[in-house]
């Protein structure tokens, strides 16, 4: 458990810094390039996420296999061949993706996005450069998954924190000193993406057991993992369709400027999801080790504890972002008009993202068991129901319609998918999840947030508003933590340790 705690701390530190770097410079991007150009940044993110379908489940498979084989001495020696096999496929697909984006650059610029201030030539050039960024950036996730599986998560977070700093700060420097264009922005992304991917690759290879013979591509390794990878591919396809359809539809139906506002709201909501990632990254390898060991009691305890930690972190932040979306956006962007255009959409997206974050640990447990059909079929049903609803709501309410569909999707996960899971895995633990893992922290955090919304004045200075929101968020986290018995016991233990340490340092009078 010491290594798990260390990994969670490292993951949160890295995630917090990466999220900070991702958010801090957005107002400057908009200032120098304009909201329409920032819409292209959002379109790039949509492209990257869309092509994640072609991951074919290999990054998660690599992470799972690295964790499993590291705990099985007889299979440890095969990890280098495993990496070489998956790496070869991954880079081949990366080149194909980049070539496809480059070839489609003109149709995208001419027939898909709807620029008003940027020219068709500007958009085409930006999309061409996006293709090169994708080639260099896409394999990064595969190498990171391998290091995560080996539980080298401190190293991963050092790399991602440095690259996030270079990506954000360097982009602003380029926009100020070189050119305030979207093309210059993406040219800098090429430099950073190449550096971070090759650094991560070198670290992963260095972390593997050494062998006298050279690592080779082996078809039989694919035979060992293809079933899990194929299932993950299916899940990736349907989940990508669900998570990106709103952005794809809105990028076509709205102007590039309005899509820029939607991208801005998703930038904040996506930062919330970053708060879930560190726990999943730290616990998934441990789940993958406990499942084959048959330690159901230990697995159950760890599962509930991780879900409670997730709630204690996610729910207070979600409550503040949803209830104070206008204030957050106004202070962050420095533009009340942008905040007014975006705040309601952000509040709805936050509700959906909070539900999505809470499903991360149950999904990680399913993957540890190798049960992939549940997520696959739940998402297939969701696609059939929600895509027609999405198109209808977007035609009526614009970007708000897209946000509503996201909230409905994740509400369905929490109400339906988790019930089905606990009919097969950890039977009898469903109401523990609803009442203790989710319910108590949610009600405590919402109580603090609603009281703050009622009594907090709406016309304070930015500095005072930020100070109060930080205090209220902290109070929400404390209230959520104290509402859960397991975490409350941990808090009591650490406080007693702190008290003993202070007592030893204070001399007797």
Q: What is the mean pLDDT of residues 185-198?
A: 91
Q: What is the mean pLDDT of residues 135-157?
A: 82
pLDDT at 471 over 60: yes
Q: What is the mean pLDDT of residues 352-365?
A: 90
Q: Which residue has the higher pLDDT, 379 or 225?
A: 379
pLDDT at 71 over 60: no
How high does pLDDT run on average in the chain? 82
Q: Report pLDDT for 418.
A: 92
Cβ atoms of residues 233 and 56 within 8 Å? yes
Q: Report pLDDT for 254.
A: 81
Q: Domain of 238?
A: 1-247
Give the three-class secondary structure for 36: helix
Highest mean pLDDT among 17-31, 38-52, 54-68, 393-407: 393-407
pLDDT at 53 over 80: no
Nearest of 318, 399, 314 to residue 351 by alpha carbon: 318
Residue given tokens 């409550």 in the structure block = 319
Residue 424 counted as domain residue: no
Residue 103 counted as domain residue: yes
Cβ atoms of residues 277 and 453 within 8 Å? no
Q: Report pLDDT for 509.
A: 47
Written as six digits, the tokens of 36 are 């329409």
Residue 400 counted as domain residue: no
pLDDT at 209 over 80: no
Residue 19 counted as domain residue: yes
Cβ atoms of residues 147 and 156 within 8 Å? yes
pLDDT at 185 over 60: yes
Q: Percent of the chain beyond pLDDT 90?
A: 20
Cβ atoms of residues 361 and 490 within 8 Å? no
Q: Report pLDDT for 379.
A: 82
Residue 329 counted as domain residue: no
Long-range residue pairs from 290-298, CB within 8 A, at least 24 positions apart, any chain? 290/368, 291/368, 291/369, 292/68, 296/426
**pLDDT digits over 290-335, tens only?**
887 777 888 888 889 889 988 998 999 999 999 999 999 998 888 8
Q: How many residues does the structure list for the chain? A: 509
Residue 355 counted as domain residue: no
Total structural domains within the chain: 1
Among 57-71, 142-156, 375-389, which stretch is predicted with the lowest mean pLDDT? 57-71
Residue 143 counted as domain residue: yes
Name the band, by pLDDT with cuts 50, 70 and 90, for residue 206.
confident
Mention every residue, 6+ apart, whose C-beta is less than 8 A from residue 245: 386, 387, 390
Q: What is the mean pLDDT of residues 452-456?
A: 87
Residue 319 counted as domain residue: no
């Amino acid at each position: 458990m010491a290594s798990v705690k260390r990994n969670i701390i490292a993951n949160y530190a890295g995630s917090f810094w990466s999220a900070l770097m991702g958010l801090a410079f957005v107002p400057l991007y908009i200032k120098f390039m304009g909201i329409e150009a920032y819409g292209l940044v959002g379109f790039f993110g949509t492209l990257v996420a869309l092509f994640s379908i072609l991951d074919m489940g290999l990054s998660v498979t690599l992470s799972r296999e690295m964790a499993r084989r590291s705990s099985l001495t007889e299979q440890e020696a095969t990890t280098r061949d495993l990496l070489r096999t998956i790496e070869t496929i991954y880079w081949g697909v990366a080149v194909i993706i980049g070539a496809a984006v480059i070839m489609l650059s003109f149709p995208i610029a001419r027939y898909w996005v709807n620029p008003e201030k940027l020219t068709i030539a500007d958009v085409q050039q930006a999309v061409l450069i996006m293709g090169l960024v994708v080639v260099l950036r896409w394999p990064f996730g595969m190498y990171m998954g391998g290091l995560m599986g080996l539980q080298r998560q401190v190293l991963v977070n050092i790399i991602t924190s440095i690259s996030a700093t270079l990506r954000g700060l360097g982009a602003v420097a380029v926009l100020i000193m070189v050119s305030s264009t979207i093309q210059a922005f993406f040219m800098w992304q090429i430099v950073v993406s190449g550096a971070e991917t090759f650094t991560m690759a070198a670290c992963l290879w260095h972390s593997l057991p050494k062998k006298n013979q050279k690592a080779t591509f082996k078809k039989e390794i694919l035979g060992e993992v293809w079933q899990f990878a194929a299932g993950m591919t299916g899940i990736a396809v349907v989940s990508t369709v669900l998570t990106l359809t709103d952005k794809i539809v809105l990028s076509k139906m709205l102007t590039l400027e309005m899509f820029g506002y939607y991208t801005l709201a998703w930038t904040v909501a996506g930062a919330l999801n970053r708060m879930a990632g560190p726990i999943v990254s730290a616990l998934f390898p441990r789940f993958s080790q406990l499942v084959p060991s048959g330690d159901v009691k230990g697995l159950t305890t760890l599962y509930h504890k991780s879900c409670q930690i997730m709630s204690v972190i996610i729910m207070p932040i979600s409550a503040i972002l949803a209830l104070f979306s206008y204030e957050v956006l106004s202070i962050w962007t420095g533009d009340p008009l942008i905040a007014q255009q975006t705040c309601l959409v952000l509040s709805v997206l936050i509700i959906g993202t909070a539900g999505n974050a809470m499903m991360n640990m149950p999904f990680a447990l399913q993957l540890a068991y190798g049960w992939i059909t549940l997520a696959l079929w739940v998402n297939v049903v969701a696609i059939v129901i929600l895509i027609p609803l999405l198109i209808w709501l977007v035609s009526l309410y614009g970007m708000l319609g897209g946000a509503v569909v996201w909230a409905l999707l994740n509400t369905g996960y929490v109400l339906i998918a988790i019930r089905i899971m606990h009919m097969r895995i950890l039977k009898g633990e469903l109401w523990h999840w609803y009442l203790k893992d989710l319910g108590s922290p949610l009600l405590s955090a919402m109580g603090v947030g609603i009281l703050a919304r009622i009594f907090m004045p709406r016309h304070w200075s930015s500095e005072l508003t930020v100070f109060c929101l930080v205090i209220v968020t902290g109070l929400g986290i404390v209230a959520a933590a104290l509402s859960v018995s397991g975490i409350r016991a941990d808090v009591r233990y650490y406080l007693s340790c702190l008290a003993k340490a202070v007592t030893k340092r204070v001399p007797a009078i």
